[in-house]
């Protein structure tokens, strides 16, 4: 098989999605499965749909188009504000989009009219994280204008936290979103059907509350794909953190000194890491680099340590064992590494459903009740 490659365990992704769908169902919160870190791969999206998500969300219309073409039977939401230049495509392929700008929504309305469709609009509200969103005080005016547009269906409101500034979702900001939904219904006499509380970082709040009030949707990517809560990067109990592995091939392995020699300047990617002298070590080079993955997001197998990476070389301290040329090493990935590996044209993918055997041993157990 070719390297580098991402090995993808579809059964583990399915397990993670199902576990979260079931836990959140107790609070009457539906899950929008977010596929952007998986490049909208239809095989992965299909597992999410089978696991019971209420819809699929992606930040790129290109990914939504791929999933549509694959014939997936679900509602698609574009979770990044549409570019005005893509409005036509957005209306043609997404059922709903997240929005904050009236200029964009007006264009969506025109395109929807031209295509004989109705496009759903979910308005994003700024609750402190300072990424996308309308300030709460300006929300009623925007809702009023949206409700007057033809071929636009106002679907509800949402917020996104913990992405730009790391603001934690909590009782206070979730209550603020719920009461905005209440007051819009009072003011306009419309139903605010969807109140979308946030992303994987909301799980700590959601699974710790007994009453989610108006919050009836969460958009989950990382928690499903990597089994982690992004706020603290902690493994979520009962989920797999190893649905993905990145396999790379050894192209050099030699005994080398720990410390470089000669006069030192910067490397192509900034200052090199200082190392203490441990004498000779076994050092391997893998055919993997920054063109393939974010090397800072790789977790090496036990006994190995990533020392550095350039465009095409990953240098690894392999401890006492030397690796055979042509042999393969599998790394675990964080979100950033997964995103880059998925979008690199050099990284192939091997998807499998596993044998269901070894699976249970790698389930996260203990720890926080999540």
Ligand X SMILES: *Cc1c(COP(=O)(O)O)cnc(C)c1O
Residues that bind ligand X (CB under 6 A): 34, 36, 59, 79, 160, 199-201, 219-223, 230
In angstroms, what is the minimal distance from the CB of 69 to ligand X? 22
Report CA 20 to chain centroid distance, whole Å. 15
- Give the residue with the Cβ less far from ligand X, 125 or 285: 125
In angstroms, what is the minimal distance from the CB of 97 to ligand X? 11
Residues forming a β-bridge with 315: 285, 308
What's the CA gap between 211 and 109, in Å, rounded? Answer: 36
In angstroms, what is the minimal distance from the CB of 126 to ligand X? 12
In angstroms, what is the minimal distance from the CB of 254 to ligand X? 40
H or E segment at 99?
Answer: strand 96-99
Residue least distant from ligand X (Cβ): 221
In angstroms, what is the minimal distance from the CB of 118 to ligand X? 22
What's the CA gap between 282 and 320, in Å, rounded? Answer: 6
Does the annotation count 36 as an active-site position?
yes
Closest by CA to 333, choosing from 309, 368, 300, is 300
Measured distance between the N- and C-terminal CA atoms of the chain, rounded to whole angstroms: 37
- Give the residue with the Cβ less far from ligand X, 36 or 68: 36
* Contacts within 8 Å (CB) and 24+ apart, 307-310: 307/273, 307/275, 307/283, 308/267, 308/272, 308/273, 309/269, 310/267, 310/268, 310/269
- Give the residue with the Cβ less far from ligand X, 129 or 292: 129
- Give the residue with the Cβ less far from ligand X, 146 or 201: 201
- Helix 61-69 to helix 42-50 angle, to the nearest 10 degrees? 70
Q: Which residue has the tokens 């070719």?
A: 2
The residues, ordered by sequence, that sit 6+ positions from 124 with a Cβ below 8 Å of its Cβ are: 81, 98, 99, 100, 132, 133, 134, 157, 158, 159, 160
**Which is the catalytic residue, given 18, 36, 234, 353?**
36
- Give the residue with the Cβ less far from ligand X, 125 or 248: 125
* Positions marked active-site: 36
């Amino acid at each position: 098989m070719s390297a580098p490659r991402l090995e993808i365990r579809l059964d583990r992704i399915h397990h993670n999605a199902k576990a979260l769908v079931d836990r959140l169902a107790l609070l009457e919160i539906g899950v929008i499965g977010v596929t952007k870190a998986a490049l909208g791969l239809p095989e992965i999206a299909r597992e999410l749909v089978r696991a019971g998500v209420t819809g699929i969300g992606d930040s790129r219309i290109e990914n939504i188009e791929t999933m549509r073409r694959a014939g997936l039977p679900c509602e698609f939401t574009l979770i990044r504000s549409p570019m005005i230049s893509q409005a036509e495509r957005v209306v043609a392929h997404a059922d709903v989009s997240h929005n904050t700008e009236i200029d964009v929504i007006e264009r969506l309305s025109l395109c929807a009219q031209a295509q004989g469709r109705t496009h759903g609009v979910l308005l994003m509200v700024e609750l402190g994280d300072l990424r996308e969103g309308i300030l709460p005080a300006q929300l009623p005016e925007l809702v009023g204008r949206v409700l007057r547009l033809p071929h636009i269906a106002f679907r509800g409101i949402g917020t996104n936290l913990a992405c730009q500034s790391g603001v934690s979702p909590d009782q206070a900001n979730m209550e603020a979103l719920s009461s905005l939904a209440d007051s819009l219904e009072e003011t306009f006499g419309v139903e605010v059907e969807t109140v979308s509380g946030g992303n994987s970082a909301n799980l700590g709040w959601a699974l710790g509350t007994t009453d989610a009030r108006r919050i009836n949707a969460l958009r989950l990517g990382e928690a499903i794909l990597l089994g982690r809560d992004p706020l603290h990067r902690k493994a979520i109990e009962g989920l797999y953190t190893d649905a993905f592995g990145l396999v790379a091939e050894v192209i050099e392995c030699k005994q080398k000194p720990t410390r470089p020699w000669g006069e030192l300047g910067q490397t192509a990617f900034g200052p090199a890491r200082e190392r203490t002298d441990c004498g000779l070590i076994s050092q391997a080079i893998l055919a993997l680099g920054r063109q393939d993955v974010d090397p800072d997001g790789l977790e090496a197998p036990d006994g190995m340590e990533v020392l550095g990476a350039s465009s095409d070389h990953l240098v690894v301290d392999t401890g006492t064992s030397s690796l055979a040329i042509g042999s393969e090493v599998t790394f675990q990935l964080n979100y950033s590494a997964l995103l880059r590996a998925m979008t690199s044209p050099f990284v192939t993918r091997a998807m499998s459903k596993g044998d269901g055997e070894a699976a249970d041993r790698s389930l996260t157990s203990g720890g926080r009740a999540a």
